Amino acid sequence: MEKSRKWCFWRKPKIKATPPMPIILLLLLSIFETGISSTADQFKVDGKVLELDESNFDLAISSLNYILVVFYSPWCRHCKLLSPQLDEAAPVLAGLKEPIVIAKVNADKFTRLASKHDVDAYPTLKLFMHGVSMEYYGPRKADSLVQYLKKFVSTDVSILISDSAISDFVEEAGTFFPIFIGFDLNETVLSNLAVKYKKRAWFSVAKGFSDEAKVLYDMEKVPALVAIHPNYKQQSIFYGPFEGEFLEDFIKQNFLPPVVPLNHETLKLLKDDKRKIVLTITADENEDQTQNLIKLLKAAASTNRDLVFGYFGLKQWEDFADKFEANEKTKLPKIIVWDGDEDYFSVIGIESLNNEDQGSQISQFLEGYRQGRTEKKTVKAPLFMGFFNSVVGIVAFFIIFIVVAMMILMVVLLIIISKDNEPVRVGSREEVDRADNSEAESSQHGPGKKED
C-alpha cells in the first residue's frame, strides 16, 4: 500500500496544464482582424473619390485590388474639368462585381509622391491593378471612363451561346479595344493568351450561333477567330492553325486595325509595334478617292501581316507629311515604308500611285520593297514617334533644360566658393616685402586719393 501511494505521488506532476499557445494565437488573430477592419474602414468602397497623401498612398495601393489614381494640381484647368467626371464615375465603378476605386493626389502639395510615380504633367492618371501600375490613356468623360475601365475587371474569356449574346457582348465592349471572337473554338485555345493580353483586348468564344452570324462576320468557314475594330469599322479573320506562335502572332498583329489612320493617338499605339509601316500619304483622307484606296490597302494588309499599313491626309497633317518630303507640289498619293523612327524607304520607280489600277501598283510596290529595290532616306528633323509633338515631350524637354541649367549654376557657385576659401599662400620674405611695397604704392596713388 505504501509503495502504491508513492507511485501516485510521482505521477501527479506529469499532468500538464493546457499550454497558453492557443490563447496567444487567438490574441494575434484578434489583432490581425482589427488591423484589417481599420484598413477596410479607412478605404471604404462607398462610391466616393478618395484623397490620398504620402501617409496612406502605399497602404491604399496594397489594400485595394483596382484603383485609378489621378495626380492633379489645384490650379490646373483640365483637372478642374475632370473632377466632376470622376465624382460621377466613382459610384458606378464601386458597384461593379470587382469594384474599382478612384482616388486623387494633390501633386503640387505632395511633390515627392508625384516624383516617385514620374508625374510631369497634370492631370496624370495611373491605374493600379494588384499593386502594379500602368498609364491610363483612355477617355475622361464619366460614361466612357466607366466603359473603358470595365475591360480590366472583365472575365478573361466570355462564353457566348447565341446570336443575341454575341451582339450584346460587342455592344457592351465599346469601341476602345479590339474584340476577338472565336467561332466554334474551345475556350482553352484562347485562355492563356486572353490572360496575357487582357489589358489590350476583349476575348470570347461563340457557340450555338446561326448561319446569319457567319454572313454578318463574313466567315467562309468555322472554326475561325474574328478580330473586330469597332472604332475603325474594320475586321480580320484567322482560320488557323490555332496553336503556338501562329495564333499569338495573329492576335498581336490585330491589336491595331488592318489599315491605321495615323494621328497623335495611333502613333502612341504604333510605338509598341516593331513592324515596319507601309505609309500612304493622300491629299485629303476624307475624299472618296482615299476611301477607295483604303479598301485596296486592307486587301494588301490581309496577305502581308508582317507589315503595318497606315495612311493620313496632307490636309489633315501637313507638318508630319513634310517630314517625308510630301507637300502640295508632291504627286499624291505617295507610298513609302517607314521604320517608325528616323528612316524610311521609297521603292525605285514607284514613289506615288496613279489613279488607274492602284491595287496592282500596291502589289508591285510591296514586291519591289521585298526584293530590296529601295532607296533609304532620313525623316526631316528625326523625332521618335512624334515625341516632341506631344505635351509630355515638351514638358520633358523643359525639365531636362532646367536640370542642366541648375547643374551648371551649382558648378559655377562651387568654383566661386572655392576661390573665396582659398588659403593664404606662404611666400618668401622677398615676396612679402614686394607685396608690402606694392600696397604702399597703391595706397598713395589709389582711386580714392586726391592731391591738394
State pLDDT tens for residues 274-330.
Answer: 899 999 999 999 999 999 999 999 999 989 989 999 999 999 999 999 999 999 999
Q: How many CB atoms lie within 10 A of CB 370?
A: 14
Domain 154-254 belongs in CATH node 3.40.920.10: no
Q: Which pLDDT value is given to residue 212?
A: 95
- The CATH homologous superfamily of the domain defined by 50-149: Glutaredoxin (3.40.30.10)
Q: Which pLDDT value is given to residue 416?
A: 73
C-alpha grid cell, residue 218:
463574313
Q: Which pLDDT value is given to residue 110?
A: 94
Residue 268 has pLDDT above 50, yes or no: yes
Contact assessment for residue 43 and residue 69, using Cβ atoms and an 8 Å cutoff: no
Contact assessment for residue 256 and residue 273, using Cβ atoms and an 8 Å cutoff: yes
For 127-157, the pLDDT digits (tens) are 999 999 999 988 999 999 999 999 999 999 9
Longest dimension (CA), the chain: 138
Q: Which residues form the catalytic set?
A: 76, 79
**Per-domain boundaries in the chain:** 50-149, 154-254, 259-386
For 17-31, the pLDDT digits (tens) are 445 555 555 555 554
Contact assessment for residue 139 and residue 175, using Cβ atoms and an 8 Å cutoff: no
End-to-end CA distance of the chain: 138
The rounded Cα 399 to chain-centroid distance in angstroms is 21
- The CATH homologous superfamily of the domain defined by 259-386: Glutaredoxin (3.40.30.10)
C-alpha grid cell, residue 158:
466570355
Mean predicted lDDT score pLDDT of the chain: 83
Size of the chain in residues: 452
Q: Which pLDDT value is given to residue 442?
A: 39
Q: Which pLDDT value is given to residue 20?
A: 56
Q: Which pLDDT value is given to residue 220?
A: 93
Q: Which pLDDT value is given to residue 133?
A: 92
Residue 369 vs residues 141, 261, 357: alpha-carbon distances, Å = 44, 22, 19
Share of the chain above pLDDT 90, in %: 65
Residue 16 has pLDDT above 70, yes or no: no
CA distance 407 to 37: 49
Q: Which pLDDT value is given to residue 413?
A: 77
For 194-238, the pLDDT digits (tens) are 999 999 999 999 999 999 999 999 999 999 999 999 988 899 999
Residue 45 has pLDDT above 90, yes or no: no
User: Under DSSP, is residue 129 helix (H, G, I), strand (E, B) or coil?
Assistant: strand
Residue 347 has pLDDT above 90, yes or no: yes
Residue 10 has pLDDT above 70, yes or no: no
Which of the four pLDDT bands, split at 50, 70 and 90, describes residue 356? Answer: confident
Instruction: For the chain, give percent helix, strand, coil, nearest 5.
Output: 45, 20, 35
Q: State the burial class of residue 336 (Cβ atoms within 10 Å of its Cβ: 0-12, 13-18, 19+).
A: buried
Residue 175 has pLDDT above 50, yes or no: yes
Average pLDDT, stretch 400-424? 71
Average pLDDT, stretch 327-347? 94
Q: Which pLDDT value is given to residue 209?
A: 95
Give counts: helices (H), strands (E), the chain: 16, 16
Q: Which pLDDT value is given to residue 75?
A: 94
For 86-125, the pLDDT digits (tens) are 999 999 999 999 999 999 999 999 999 999 999 988 999 9
The rounded Cα 352 to chain-centroid distance in angstroms is 35
Residue given cell 492631370 in the structure block: 123
The rounded Cα 131 to chain-centroid distance in angstroms is 16
Question: Around 160, how many Cα atoms within 13 Å sit in the side-chain half-sphere?
Answer: 25
Residues 6 or more apart whose CB falls under 8 angstroms from that of 85 comprise 140, 141, 142, 145
C-alpha grid cell, residue 31:
489583432
Does this chain's domain 50-149 share its CATH topology with 259-386?
yes
pTM: 0.70
- Give me the amino acid identity at 116: K
C-alpha grid cell, residue 247:
495564333
